[in-house]
């Protein structure tokens, strides 16, 4: 009998846990180390999503564990009006690696919280309230962040914040605008903002965007798009907020994904990767925006703002990423992973597209490459088979697209582990297709 089949555990789980989306895997995870998690039977499962896309340095990194242990005993949590050395150290280090001008930091706990703070800064600074985002976006499940989240979770909770608008995210694999048979994202963007202008009451405050929409299906903004988007914001007196929760701190092969385009946002939010799996987030902005908002009474006083323990973890994460050349490693390992995924694409007709950057890649499944018809059942079956084989994969299934695997192993992943993941994925696809053919 499997130790995962613990009747008391599952009875307590059913009786006492609030289910918050999706379903729970039918296993009990007892420990995690490096690129693997281990269930109650001791079975190793290769984690190709870095936990919740967050364990940038793998699980149980010894130096992170040492920082946590030290600060848990010595300096963990403070009254929010007190400052500590780890907080100032992390803010200083972030200013040193962020795009030029983003020199003021607010340290928080989650991505949703950092996006809430960013939206409040933008509204206070501009004196406006309307917020525009992508229709495939995910920025969090709290009030303002949820109002700017369109990929899921909007039904049944009453009205979103007044002034919430959405435009389609660029999707080259399924283009809506074409010119001469080529995807015309500029025409799509122009048309989208024409609609925004017609709906706006003249109070546009900000556009919030992910450089790569992860929960939206690894939709990457094409080269030139981010600069064009920034220009649209400048024309309207809006601020550009970039949510780099999943793309920041080296994952795409650059410290921040926006650096590929040479575009500096007015506000940047970080979370997930900054804490390498621990709850830490940050809002970065310019001195001018921070000074103005402070003069106007900016308020974001939360229980765990500027806590020293997570700040110390964030500082150590930045040190390790720099010392171990993990930004470069993300480029090299990402190229190996992408080459393996493209080899699978050549061998399996059900793989319609491979996309993304560095160690944040997407693989879209379809029933037919010619029609690009979605294949949600196939994606779900492959996901289950991957888990049976010992590979944890996350698949995004949204209306209008096929199932898209989000693949984001830790930056510390080895070549051997990448090859293992590719082999397990190949086995899973082969088995599922064979079963379907019988």
In this predicted model, what pLDDT tens digit does every residue of 271-323 receive, in sequence order? 999 999 999 999 999 999 999 999 999 999 999 999 999 999 999 999 999 99
| CATH number (domain holding residue 425) | 3.90.1150.10
CA-CA distance, 146 to 139, in Å (whole number)? 7
Q: Which residues of the chain have pLDDT under 70?
A: 400-402, 437-438
- Whether 305 and 362 map to the same domain: the answer is no
Assess whether 330 and 391 both reside in one domain. yes
Q: Are residues 227 and 361 in the same domain?
A: no
Given 292, 324, 356, which residue is the final one in a domain?
Answer: 324
235 and 285, same structural domain? Answer: yes
Identify the pLDDT of residue 22. 83
The answer to whether position 231 is within a domain reads yes
In a domain, 29, yes or no: yes
Claim to verify: residue 278 and residue 375 sit in the same structural domain: no
CA within 13 Å, CB half, 30: 10
Phi first, then psi: what are they for 66, rounded to 5°? -65, -40
- Position 33 in a domain: yes
Q: Assign residue 195 the CATH number of its domain.
A: 3.40.640.10
**What is the pLDDT, as a whole number, of residue 197?**
98
50: left (phi over 0), alpha (psi -120 to 50) or beta: left
Domain end call among 284, 302, 324? 324
Is residue 329 within 8 Å of residue 413, measured between CB atoms?
A: no
Does 298 share its domain with 341?
A: no
Q: Are 244 and 358 in contact (CB under 8 A)?
A: no
pLDDT of residue 438: 46
Instruction: Report d(CA 425, CA 414) in Å as an integer.
Output: 17
Active-site position among 243, 266, 290, 307:
243
What confidence score (pLDDT) does residue 1 get? 87
Q: What is the pTM (predicted TM-score) of this model?
A: 0.97
The catalytically annotated residue of 47, 113, 130, 210 is 210
**Vertex 252 angle, CA 313 and 20, to 5°:** 65
Contact 425, 413 (CB under 8 A): no
Q: Which domain holds residue 46?
A: 25-54+325-435
Total count of domains within the chain? 2
Residues 124 and 259 in one domain: yes
DSSP 8-state code for residue 54: T
Write down the pLDDT at residue 54: 97
- 392 and 404 co-located in one domain: yes
pLDDT at res. 111: 97
Whether 266 and 390 share a structural domain: no
243 is catalytic: yes
Q: Is 174 exposed, middle or buried (0-12, 13-18, 19+ CB in 10 A)?
A: middle
Asked if the structure places residue 17 within a domain, the reply is no
228 plus 89 within the same structural domain? yes
**Residue 398 confidence (pLDDT):** 74
Residues 357 and 401 in one domain: yes
Rounded to the nearest 10 degrees, the angle between the axes of helix 287-295 and helix 111-126 is 70
Which of these is catalytic: 236, 246, 316, 385? Answer: 246
CA angle at 326 for the pair 324 and 328, rounded to the nearest 5° = 115
**Candidates 244, 251, 406, 417; catalytic one:** 406
Q: Is residue 3 part of a domain?
A: no
- CB neighbours of residue 237 within 10 Å: 11
Q: Which of 262, 297, 324 is the last residue of a domain?
A: 324
Query: What order do you get walking across the sheet with 204-209 strand by strand?
Result: 104-108, 281-285, 267-270, 239-243, 204-209, 130-134, 164-167
Tokens of 75: 């300096």
Which class for 113: exposed (0-12), middle (13-18), buried (19 or more C-beta within 10 A)? buried
What are φ and ψ of residue 44, in 5° steps?
-85, 130
Residue 15 lies in a domain: no
Catalytic residue among 123, 138, 244, 364: 138
Q: Does residue 10 fall inside a structural domain?
A: no
272 catalytic? Reply is yes
Report the alpha-carbon distance of residue 108 to residue 405 in Å, rounded: 29
**Is 73 among the residues known to form the active site?**
no
Catalytic, 138? Answer yes
Choice among 123, 251, 272, 329 that is catalytic: 272
The answer to whether position 318 is within a domain reads yes
Q: How far apart are CA 42 and CA 171, in angstroms?
A: 41
**88 and 29 assigned to the same domain:** no
């Amino acid at each position: 009998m499997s130790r995962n089949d613990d009747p008391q555990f599952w009875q307590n789980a059913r009786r006492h846990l609030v289910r918050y989306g999706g379903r729970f895997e039918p296993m009990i995870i007892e420990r995690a180390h490096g690129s693997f998690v281990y269930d109650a039977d001791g079975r190793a499962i290769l984690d190709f999503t870095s936990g919740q896309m967050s364990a940038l340095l793998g699980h149980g990194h010894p130096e992170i564990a040492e920082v946590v242990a030290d600060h848990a005993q010595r300096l963990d949590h403070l009254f929010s009006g007190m400052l500590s050395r780890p907080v100032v150290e992390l803010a200083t280090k972030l200013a040193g690696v962020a795009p030029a001008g983003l020199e003021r930091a607010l340290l928080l706990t989650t991505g949703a919280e950092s996006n809430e703070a960013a939206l409040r800064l933008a509204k206070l600074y501009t004196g406006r309230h309307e917020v525009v985002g992508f229709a495939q976006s995910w920025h969090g499940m709290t009030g303002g962040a949820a109002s700017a989240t369109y990929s899921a979770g909007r039904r049944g909770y009453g009205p979103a914040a007044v002034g919430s608008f959405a435009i389609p995210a660029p999707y080259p694999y399924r283009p809506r605008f074409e010119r001469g048979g080529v995807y015309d994202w500029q025409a799509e963007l122009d048309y989208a903002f024409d609609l925004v202008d017609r709906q706006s009451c003249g109070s546009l405050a900000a556009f919030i965007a992910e450089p790569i929409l992860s929960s939206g299906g690894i939709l990457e903004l094409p080269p030139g798009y981010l600069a064009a988007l920034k220009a649209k914001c400048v024309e309207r007196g809006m601020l550009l907020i970039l949510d780099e929760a999943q793309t920041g701190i080296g994952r795409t092969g650059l410290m921040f994904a926006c650096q590929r385009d040479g575009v500096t946002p007015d506000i940047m939010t970080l979370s997930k990767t900054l804490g390498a799996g621990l709850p830490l987030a940050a809002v970065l902005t310019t001195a001018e925006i921070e000074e103005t908002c402070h003069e106007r009474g900016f308020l974001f006083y939360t229980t765990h703002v500027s806590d020293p323990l997570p700040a110390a973890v964030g500082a150590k994460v930045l040190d390790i990423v720099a010392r171990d050349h993990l930004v470069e490693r993300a480029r090299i390992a990402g190229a190996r992973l992408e080459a393996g995924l493209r080899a699978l694409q050549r061998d399996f007709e059900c793989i319609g597209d491979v996309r993304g950057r560095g160690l944040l890649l997407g693989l879209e499944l379809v029933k037919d490459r010619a029609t690009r018809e979605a294949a949600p059942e196939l994606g779900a079956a492959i996901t289950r088979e991957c888990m049976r084989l010992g590979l944890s994969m996350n698949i995004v299934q949204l209306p209008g697209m096929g199932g898209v695997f989000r693949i984001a192993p830790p930056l510390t992943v080895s070549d051997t582990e990448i090859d293992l993941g590719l082999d397990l994925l190949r086995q899973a696809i082969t088995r599922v297709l064979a079963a379907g053919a019988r």
